[in-house]
Amino acid sequence: MRIALLTEGAKRRPKGDPLAWCDRLVRGLTDQEFEVYALCRDPQDTAERWAGRYPGVRAVYTRPLWGPAPGEHTPLRGRPLRRRFLGCYRELVATLTARPDTPETPAAPGSADLADRFANSLYGLAELAREHGGLPGALRSEPAVQALEAACRAPGAAPLLGGATVHDLLTASESLERALRPLSAPWYGETTLGGVDLCHATSGGPATLPGLLAAHFCGTPLLVTEYGVRLREHYLDGPDGQLPVRVRVLLAALHRRLATESYRAAALLTPGNGHIRRWQERCGAPRTKIRTVHPGIDAGQLAAVGEAAESGAPDADDPTLVWVGRVEPAKDLVALLHAFARIHTAVPRARLRIISGGGRADYLAQCRVLAAQLFPDEAADSRTPGESPVTFEEIGSPYVPTLADAYAAGGLVVLSSVVEGFPATLVEAMFCARATVSTDVGAVREVIGGTGLVVPPRNPTALAEACTELLHDPHRRARLGAAARARALELFTAEQNVAAFREIYLDLVAHRRPAATRTASAPFALPAEAHLPGSWRPAPGAHHGASRAPAWAREAPRQPAVVGAPAGLPLGENA
C-alpha cells in the first residue's frame, strides 16, 4: 500500500511531537510504502531535511507556509473566474464571521447550514485553484479584502469583528492566504495524493487540509490521528498569539470549521485518549468513526528498571519523591513544593528530586526561589554541612545521565499538573514499576486505571496526604508499581501502537471502492438505456447489468454543489 503521511513542520509542530511515532510507523511497517506531505513554517524545514529524518519513505513533498506563496503574482484572468472566486470567498468568510453564540441556522429556506456552506466554499476555491491557478494572489487582492470587510460588517457577524480596522483586515487576509495555501499545492494528481491508497493526517488542524482535498478530488480515504487536541491548543497558546485580537477570532473560527469538516469527512478518527475523544465528539465527530489508539512508548531501559524493581524487596528506607518533565507553569511545581512542605513535616527524611528535560528558565528560577524560602539548608548537627531536601536536576547530568536513571532515583513518582493531555511521564513511570500520585487532569485517570492515587488539581493538601500515605506503606507502593507495569506493557508499548495502525490501514484500504466504480464512466455500471433522455425503468423481471450490480454501483454519482445555487441541487459528497 501507498500511505501518505500529512504533517506540519517543526517550528509550529503540535504538542506531542507526532514525528516520533511517525518514525516508528515508517520503521515498523516496512512492507508499506510511505510518502510525506509536510506543511513547513520554517525556512530550514526543507524536503532534504525531511528525507533525512525518514530515510525509508518513498517521496517527500513540502509546501512552505512562510514567505511569498508560489504563484502569488499569477492573476485570475477573465471576469467569470474572478466572479467565481468572489462567490466562493464571500461564502467562506461569511461562515467565519458568523456570530458564534447563536445556533447555526440556515441562511435561507432550503440552503445549507454553516458547516455545509464552509465545505462547499472551501472545495470551490480548491477546484478553482486546481483548474486555473492564481488563488494565492486572489486571496490577497483588494476585492478579497473588501469581501472580508463586508462580512465583518454584516448584520449577523460577531460583534467584535464589526470594529475591524484596515490593519486588521489586511493582516487577516494575509493569514487566511497562508492557512489556505494547501488548496493550491500540486498534490492532487495521479502521481501524488490521487495515487495513494490512504491519507494519514498525523494531527488535526492544517495537516488535514490536503487529506480533505484528496478525499474530495480522488476519493482517497482520510485517517486523522490526534495525540493532542489541535483546536484546543490553538485556543490556549496557538501560534497566532501575537496577532490582533480580531484576526485571532477569525483564525479561531477557521480552525473550528476545519476541525468540524475533517471530523465529518474522515473515514476514521484515532484519538490518543478519551479526553481527545470527547473534544472530537463535541465538534461533531460521530462515535461510529472513532477508535482510540493510545500512543506507544519505547520501553527500552525503562523495562529493565521495572524488572529490577519487581525482583527486589520493597525499599522502606527510600522516602524519595521524583518529579520528571518539562518545567512550565502548566506543571504547577509551586503546588508541588507547598505539598512537599507538609510531606516533609510528616516524614522528616523525605526528599524531593525535580528532574527536568527542558522548559522555561524563568519559571524554573521562580521555583528555585520558592524552594529556598520553604526549605532553608538544614544540618543534622553543628559539624555537618546543610543540605536542602529539594534538589533541581537535569536529564543528562552526571547524577541523572538517562531517563531511566531519573525514574530509578526514587520510589514514588508525582505528577502535579493543572493541564495535561496524554501523561507520557506517568506511562514511563509505570514501565519502571513505580507507584504514582497524580492530579486528575486530562487522560490521567484513563492511563492510571487504578494503579496509582489520583487527587484533585491545585490542592496541595490532598497531594501531600496521598504521598505521605504511600511513603508510610512500602508494600502498597510495590503492589501498585507491579500493577502499573503490567498495565503499561499491555496497553502502551510502541509495538501495540504499530500493530493497531497496521490493522487500521488494511481495514480502510480493504473497504475502499475500486477506482473504476467511483467514476461515472465505469464500464457496464449502468445499461445503455439509462443514458437516454426521460425516465427509463427496466421491465419487471428483466435482468440487466445494473440490477445485478451492488447498490453503490447502481447509484448515479452525485455532483459537487455549486455555491449560491438554488435549493434542490445535490450537495457535494464531502460537504
Q: Give the pLDDT score at 551.
A: 38
Q: Give the pLDDT score at 27.
A: 87
Which of 169, 161, 124 lies closest to 144, judged by CA? 169
Q: How many CA atoms does the CB half-sphere of 570 hold within 13 Å?
A: 8
Which of 96, 171, 84, 168 lies closest to 134, judged by CA? 84
The pTM score is 0.81
Q: Dump the DSSP string for 60-103.
A: EEEEE-SSSPTTTT-PPPSHHHHHHHHHHHHHHHHHHHB-TTS-
Q: Give the pLDDT score at 533.
A: 53
Please check whether the domain covering 2-71+185-289 is classified as CATH 3.60.15.10: no
Which of 413, 538, 432 lies closest to 485, judged by CA? 432
Q: Give the pLDDT score at 304.
A: 85
Q: Give the pLDDT score at 313.
A: 60
Contact yes or no for 173/138 (Cβ under 8 A): no
Q: Give the pLDDT score at 23.
A: 83
For residue 10, give the 3-state DSSP assignment: coil
Q: Give the pLDDT score at 270.
A: 95
Q: Give the pLDDT score at 431.
A: 95
Domains 2-71+185-289 and 301-492 share a fold: yes
What are the average pLDDT values for consecutive 10-residue runs of the chain, which has 575 residues?
A: 86 49 86 91 76 81 83 78 94 90 42 82 95 90 95 91 93 93 92 93 90 94 89 68 85 92 95 90 90 89 84 71 95 97 94 93 95 81 77 93 93 94 92 96 92 96 97 94 95 92 93 53 50 47 39 38 35 33
- The listed CATH number (1.10.10.10, 3.30.70.270, 3.40.50.150, 3.40.50.2000) that belongs to domain 301-492: 3.40.50.2000
Residue 20 is placed in which grid cell?
Answer: 516520533
Phi, psi of 283 (to 5 degrees): -85, 10
Where are the chain's structural domains?
2-71+185-289, 79-176, 301-492, 520-554
For residue 214, give the 3-state DSSP assignment: helix
Contact yes or no for 82/142 (Cβ under 8 A): no
Which of 176, 283, 175 lies closest to 229, judged by CA? 283
CA dihedral of 448, 451, 456, 457, whole degrees rounded to 10:
-50
